[in-house]
Amino acid sequence: MNFIMKNSIKHFLLPLVCGIAFISCEKQTTPEPVQIQRPELQSPIVRDDVYYARLRAYKKTDHKLAFGWFGSWTAINPSEQSRLRSAPDSMDIISIWSQWHSLSREQIEDKAFVQQVLGTKVVFCISAKDVPEEFKVDGQITDESLKDYARAWGKDSIDKYQYDGIDIDFETAADHLGPLNTTPGLFKKFCEELSQYIGPKSGTGRLFLIDGNIDALDQGIAELCNYGVSQAYGCSSATMGYTSLTSRTASAERVGWKADQLIFTENFESMWKSGGILHTTLSGKQMMSLQGMADFAVNGTSCGFGAYHMEYEYGHSDMPYKYMRQAIQYANPAPHGDYSKNLVTLNEAGEYAFEIPVFPSGMSEGVQFSLTASLTGVPTADADIPLVVDNSLVTAYNNYYYTEYKTLDPALVSFSGPLHFVAGAQDSETPVIVGITDMTALGDEEYLVPVRVDFSKHSGFSANTDKEVCYLKLKTKQQVCVLSLPGMEQVTEISVMQGEDGMVIEKKGYTLQLQASIGVPVDSKFSIVADPALVDSYNKQHGTKYTPMSANDVTLPDELLLPKNSQATTPVEIKAVDYEKLTSDGSMVVLKVDLGGNADFNTIGDKDVVKFVVFKKMEGNIEENATRVPGTVIADMSGWTYDAPGAEGLVSSQMFDGAIAMNQSGWYITNGSVTATVDMVNVHTLAGFRIRPMYGLGYYKVLRLYDVKTSEDGQHWVSQSGDSFVSLALSGDDWQYVKFYKPVSCRFVRMTYRCDKESASNSYVGCNEFNAIASN
């Protein structure tokens, strides 16, 4: 590097000296000094081999990318502005926006330095407009043309000039149109050919970028690329900056881009002096748009930010590339410390407050906190670096913030182990758990526990002073744990039905689960009891006739366990033991939780934790989603009627004529509900019935029937569906079956249809045909 600089200065000074000698014969002049800014020399950072090694390692980490188009690259002008090495060291990708071929010796050396020493990827930018004539066949673009042109760019040129990839400018403006980007599918073919040499599918490690109107590309192109660069010029507060970037992201995603492929860029050809335009971030902050794009990368979904004609920013008198440096630092804060060592960043550095419940018994749930760390450089060997409590920092903290925190005995603080770094990895392998469990000795004071990394036995490591200490603020609070049951003091009704073969079916169930307001400090067990005496008082108060149930009448657990640090017991299903004891009026069990005199626990409003559960016996019942009904379809339907007030197109006789053709609709509704009643003239013993969807098409099937009832005289009705709906399935023969668990004697069948998204599969619901099925 020094050899190159000396030769460059020597070649520059010789003609300058000769020119001055010639002019001095004519007239005395005072030459104007040329301002050459060299940030790498002006910076206090020592740029040695260790610095560059860490810089290259950083660029291999997962971070937000800094991108820029670099124009007027010559590497020979007196000003460093013409050299790539003038750009910030932390640039990730530079795209050459000028002549990228026929490079001079100075350009080759300049590019090699930023690639090999700084680790910056350098790509060249080309236009997706046309294919050069030398690649065409008789003036036409053919498949061979695309293959040859792709190889010339994607391999031969990259090999010759040692670039890291290609950036294709794809734009749809009138002055950018050509056969390559207007012929349907042609650009995609070209990209597919290029993807053999560049991009993630090539396996070469060379980058494939497309910039410009990336949301106008064909599906399938994005997956061939590493990044899509959006020219988001002028994303101002007027368009709510981040809203514009979010909209651009959505548009790009519609053609296959992933959000973490996107780089948003600002126009520094015109806005370099200000860093862009005023931009509103996702959190409502206002900043200039380049930094806003960096904010969107950090707090949004994109992978990076950048600028068009980034080299214009060299012109800042206070610091070259001022706004690009600010954006890089904003998105990827650099550590501070002794750069001669491998700096350790405590990722959770900062302040964390804990209000620790202390129970009357003296028990406490304690504190657990996870700590991780990262390195600026890649360690060459495994390293274990311990964490310590440094109480010397408490006094300094109190003096600075005018606080009065107490120190905590370090012996009360445990660490699950040291920070372990594996050779070749910059992140600690597993989190270190910081534990503070014994709170019995703590009074009503506030404690500060400063945790930092201990470098006493690791001379090659040092702290990132920006993120060095994790402060844990502890405050005890006297508290009891409040217990409750879901829906406590409310009645839960469970419909229990007798199915075929005597099987008991519970249409609804009750799950007993004890809940706690906070995590309990130790494993805690509670007895559950049933109190039949409370049923009588409930009946008197509410005018009900529930039959009392004892603990033996339900599947009651002996106790419920609240595990340590949990807030709920394992759910337990409560069922009636003997179905025959239940009545249609209902049988009630009152469940109580016995606290056992434990002072650490209480109940809401100092009331008993009770739960009222009613088990009701249903006389009639229906199988959900039945696909058949064993029995015989009643063939003689003479005189039967089907009444559905409010239904459209209803002809009662058509519901029993056996015609299920598409031109016979039966009846239907388009909104609301209809209650339909079937009169079978005589009493029949039914195993169930079936209905045919409107027009005989499954597309118009009924999803649910409500309030299914039967009657022998039309005056006294028996509910077959209880207090719920009946879900219907569509069978293979395009009928929907309603199956009774037990045969039902009836003349009338009544049911309610609803037309809503829960009950209708289309915007219509209706019936084409009704069949009653007699029990065998």
Question: Averaged over 603-630, what is the pLDDT?
Answer: 76
| pLDDT tens-digit readout, 335-385 | 888 878 899 999 999 999 988 877 887 777 678 899 999 998 889 899 999
- Name the range with the highest mean pLDDT among 36-50, 131-145, 606-620: 131-145
Alpha-carbon distances of 19 from 11, 26, 419, rounded to whole Å: 13, 12, 64
87-101, 160-174, 406-420, 733-747: range with lowest mean pLDDT: 733-747
Q: What is the pLDDT of residue 24?
A: 32
Domains located in the chain, CATH noted? 64-253+275-284+306-313 (3.20.20.80), 342-478 (2.60.40.1740), 481-618 (2.60.40.1510), 622-774 (2.60.120.260)
Provide the mean pLDDT of the chain: 86
Work out the pLDDT band at 507, boundaries 50, 70, 90. Answer: low
The position carrying tokens 């207090």 is 723
Beta carbons of 549 and 587 less than 8 angstroms apart: yes
Burial of residue 489 (number of CB atoms within 10 Å: 0-12, 13-18, 19+): middle
Work out the pLDDT band at 651, boundaries 50, 70, 90. Answer: confident
Question: Averaged over 666-678, what is the pLDDT?
Answer: 89
| pLDDT tens-digit readout, 46-57 | 788 878 988 898
In angstroms, rounded to a whole number, what is the distance separating the alpha carbons of residues 87 and 92? 10
- Listed in sequence order, the residues at least 6 apart from 205 whose beta carbon sits closer than 8 Å to its beta carbon are none
| pLDDT tens-digit readout, 716-741 | 988 888 767 888 999 888 899 999 88
Q: What is the pLDDT of residue 357?
A: 77
The position carrying tokens 């002055």 is 175
Radius of gyration over every alpha carbon of the chain, rounded to an integer in angstroms: 40
35-44, 263-272, 311-320: range with lowest mean pLDDT: 35-44
Alpha-carbon distances of 361 from 354, 368, 588, rounded to whole Å: 20, 21, 37
Beta carbons of 701 and 474 less than 8 angstroms apart: no
Q: Please say if the pLDDT value at position 498 is more than 70.
A: no
In angstroms, rounded to a whole number, what is the distance separating the alpha carbons of residues 81 and 90? 17
Q: Taking the CA of residue 402 as centre, how many other CA atoms within 13 Å lie in the half-sphere pointing to its CB?
A: 0
CA 206 to mean position of chain CA atoms = 30
Spell out where 224-335 has E strands. 227-231, 262-267, 278-280, 286-288, 304-308
Q: Please say if the pLDDT value at position 18 is more than 60.
A: no
Of 693, 709, 690, nearest to 633 by C-alpha is 690
Q: Please say if the pLDDT value at position 42 is more than 60.
A: no
Q: What is the DSSP string of 326-386?
A: HHHHHHSPPP-S-TTSEEEEETT-EEEEEEEEE-TTS-B--EEEEE-EEESS--SS-EEE-
In angstroms, rounded to a whole number, what is the distance separating the alpha carbons of residues 649 and 210? 60
* 414-424 burial: b if 16+ Cβ within 10 Å, else e: ebeeebebeee
**More confident call, 251 vs 496:** 251
**What contacts 24+ positions apart, CB below 8 Å, involve 669-674?**
669/753, 669/755, 669/764, 669/765, 669/766, 670/755, 670/763, 670/764, 671/755, 672/646, 672/754, 672/755, 673/706, 673/752, 673/753, 673/754, 673/755, 674/644, 674/645, 674/646, 674/647, 674/752, 674/753
Q: Please say if the pLDDT value at position 26 is more than 80.
A: no
Beta carbons of 131 and 138 less than 8 angstroms apart: no
In angstroms, rounded to a whole number, what is the distance separating the alpha carbons of residues 366 and 353? 13
The Cβ of residue 745 has, within 10 Å, a number of other Cβ atoms equal to: 12
The full length of the chain comes to 776
Work out the pLDDT band at 11, boundaries 50, 70, 90. Answer: very low
In angstroms, rounded to a whole number, what is the distance separating the alpha carbons of residues 45 and 55? 12
Q: What is the pLDDT of residue 303?
A: 96
Question: Averaged over 11-25, what is the pLDDT?
Answer: 31
Of 655, 629, 633, nearest to 767 by C-alpha is 655
Beta carbons of 480 and 601 less than 8 angstroms apart: yes
Q: What is the pLDDT of residue 714?
A: 92
Q: What is the pLDDT of residue 13?
A: 29
24-38, 172-186, 242-256, 536-550: range with lowest mean pLDDT: 24-38
| pLDDT tens-digit readout, 574-587 | 888 887 778 777 88
**More confident call, 81 vs 491:** 81
In angstroms, rounded to a whole number, what is the distance separating the alpha carbons of residues 381 and 261? 33
Q: What is the pLDDT of residue 653?
A: 81
| pLDDT tens-digit readout, 299-308 | 978 999 999 9
Q: Please say if the pLDDT value at position 559 is more than 80.
A: yes
Please count the helices (runs of H) and the strands (runs of E) in the chain.
14, 45
Which one-letter DSSP state was computed for residue 702?
A: B
In angstroms, rounded to a whole number, what is the distance separating the alpha carbons of residues 602 and 484? 9
Alpha carbon dihedral 325, 326, 329, 334, in 10-degree steps, equals: 70
pTM, whole model, 2 decimals?
0.54
**More confident call, 426 vs 253:** 253
Q: What is the pLDDT of residue 455?
A: 94
Question: Averaged over 2-18, what is the pLDDT?
Answer: 31
In angstroms, rounded to a whole number, what is the distance separating the alpha carbons of residues 180 and 395? 70
Question: Averaged over 650-668, what is the pLDDT?
Answer: 77
Q: Please say if the pLDDT value at position 203 is more than 90.
A: yes
In angstroms, rounded to a whole number, what is the distance separating the alpha carbons of residues 558 and 423? 54
Q: Please say if the pLDDT value at position 634 is more than 60.
A: yes
In angstroms, rounded to a whole number, what is the distance separating the alpha carbons of residues 467 and 55? 19
Alpha-carbon distances of 675 from 512, 650, 697, rounded to whole Å: 37, 13, 21
Alpha carbon dihedral 331, 337, 341, 342, in 10-degree steps, equals: -30
